[in-house]
Amino acid sequence: MLTRRSALLSLGATALLPLATQATPGERLYLNAFGEKGSFGLAAFDGDGRIRYQLPLPQRGHSFARRADGRMAVAFSRRPGSFALVFDPVAGTAIRTIAAAEDRDFCGHGTFSADGRLLFTTEVVGSTGEGVLGIYDAAEDFTRVGEFATHGLDPHEMRLMPDGSTLVVANGGILMRADMPRLKLNIADMDPSLVYLDARDGRLLAQIRPAAALRQLSLRHIAIDRHGRVAVAMQYEGPEDDPVPLVALHDAPAGAAGLEYLAMPEADRAGMRQYCGSAAMDAGGRHLAVSSPRGNRVLVWDLDSRIMVQSAEARDVCGIAAQARSGFLASNGLGRMFSLMAGSGIEELTARSRLQWDNHMVIAG
C-alpha cells in the first residue's frame, strides 16, 4: 500500500510529463484526473478534447479547485485522500503538495475564498468520521490555519455561493472511519444534509435534510444556477428498485425549508441506477446536467421551467463541464469525450485518449 509519506515523495520525484501541444492564449482549457495502466495523473485539454499537458499524481485523483484569477488550481485525491497538489493550470507546472493533517482525510473537493487567500477543503476526521472543512492559507505556502465543522458526516462537494461569503456543503451522511476506509457503517440511519456556513467564521447559517423516508439519499454534488439556487445530485444507498428522486434544488440559504425534487421520466430515473456522478451548469446558468456512470447517461434540465429536456447515453460517462458558449463537455472512463447540446443530442469528439478519465471535469481557464 502506498503510504502518505511515500505518496508525497513519489510525487516530488516524478518528472513533469511532456506537453502534448501548446495552448493558445485565452483558450478555454478543462481539467480531469485520469488513470493509465496503474498510474495516475491529471490532464488539461481544449474544447475539442486535445490534451495540452499532463501532471502525475501518486494516487487516484478526484476533483479540483480553481482560484478566480486563473493562476492557481488544486487537485484533490480521492477519498480517503492523503494529498492535494497545487499547480499552475495555465503553464501546467506543479507548485507544491499539501499533505492531509493528522487524523484528517481529504474528500476530493474544495474551493477558494472570494479573494483567493484561503483554500477550503472537505475532510473527515479519520477516527470518528465527522466532517470538517480544512482551511489553508495560500499566501503562507498553504499552511493549514484551522477548520470548520460541517455539522454532518461524509462531506463531499462544496461551493462558494455568489455572495462570496457563504459556503455550501453537501454532507453525504455516511459514517466511514480511517480503519475501515471504504466500509459504510450507518446505512440504516444515515443523516445527509445540505449545509450553509459563513465563510468568515464557520457559523452555521442553515441546514436542510431530506425527509426521514429519504434519509438514505446521500447528498454528493453541487451546482449553482444563475439565480443563486443550489442544485444537488444524490446517490441512493437503499434498494435499487426504490423509486426515489435523485436531483433536487434549494433556494439558498434563506429560501424554502425543504429540497425541491426535480421530476424525470421513470425510465430515466431507473436508468440512473440510483447514482449521480457529477453535476454542472451550462455557461448561461440555466441548464443543469447530471451524469451517471453506472447508468451510462447524462440528463439535462431547464431550471427555469424545471423540465428535463434531454437524456443522452454514453458508456461510463461521469465528468461534465460547461462548454464556452452553450452545452456541455463530458468525459468517460474509456478515454472518450463528448459534446452535449441541450435538446440536440450527444456527439463523440474525434480526439480520443488511452487515459481512463475519472469522476470530475472542471474549467481550468
Q: Can you list the domains of the chain with their CATH numbers?
A: 4-269 (2.130.10.10)
Give Cβ neighbours of residue 44 (< 8 Å, ≥ 6 apart): 23, 29, 30, 31, 51, 52, 53, 54, 89, 92, 364
- Using CA atoms, how far apart are residues 207 and 189, in angstroms rounded to an integer? 18
pLDDT at position 353: 83
pLDDT at position 26: 66
- Whether the per-residue pLDDT at 215 is higher than 50: the answer is yes
Higher pLDDT, 18 or 203: 203
Q: What are phi and psi of 65, to 5 degrees?
A: -120, 135
pLDDT bucket at 23, cuts 50 / 70 / 90: low
Task: Supply angle C-alpha 10, 358, 191, rounded to 5.
Answer: 100
Q: Which amino acid is at 70?
A: G
DSSP 216: T
Q: Residues of the chain with pLDDT > 70: what percent?
A: 92
How many Cα atoms sit within 13 Å of 226 on the Cβ side? 10
Q: How many residues does the chain have?
A: 365
- Using CA atoms, how far apart are residues 360 and 365, in angstroms rounded to an integer? 16
- Whether the per-residue pLDDT at 8 is higher than 60: the answer is no
Neighbours of 232 (CB within 10 A): 29
Find the radius of gyration of the CA atoms of the chain: 19
Higher pLDDT, 347 or 5: 347
Q: What are phi and psi of 176, to 5 degrees?
A: -140, 150
- Whether the per-residue pLDDT at 91 is higher than 70: the answer is yes
Question: Per-residue pLDDT tens for 329-362?
Answer: 999 999 999 999 877 789 999 778 889 999 999 9
- Using CA atoms, how far apart are residues 353 and 319, in angstroms rounded to an integer? 15
Higher pLDDT, 296 or 23: 296
Question: Per-residue pLDDT tens for 97-116?
Answer: 999 999 999 999 999 999 99
Q: What are phi and psi of 79, to 5 degrees?
A: -65, 145
Q: Residues of the chain with pLDDT > 90: what percent?
A: 84
CA dihedral sign of residues 249, 190, 169, 179: negative
For 30-57, what is the mean pLDDT? 95
DSSP 82: -
Pairing of strands 83-88, 73-77: antiparallel
Q: Which amino acid is at 140?
A: E
For 245-274, what is the mean pLDDT? 92
pLDDT bucket at 21, cuts 50 / 70 / 90: low
pLDDT at position 77: 97
Residue 110 near residue 362 (C-beta atoms within 8 A): no
- Whether the per-residue pLDDT at 13 is higher than 70: the answer is no
- Whether the per-residue pLDDT at 160 is higher than 80: the answer is yes
What are the residues facing 252 on neighbouring strands?
none
Cis peptide before 243 (omega within 30 of 0): no
For 293-298, what is the mean pLDDT? 97
Torsion angle, alpha carbons of 47, 303, 346, 271, to 10:
130
Buried b (16+ CB within 10 A) or exposed e, 48-85: ebebbbbbbbbbbbbbbbbbeeeebbbbbbbbbbbbbb
Mean pLDDT score of the chain: 91
Q: Which amino acid is at 252?
A: A
For 281-310, what is the mean pLDDT? 97
- Whether the per-residue pLDDT at 19 is higher than 80: the answer is no
What are the residues facing 40 on neighbouring strands?
35, 57
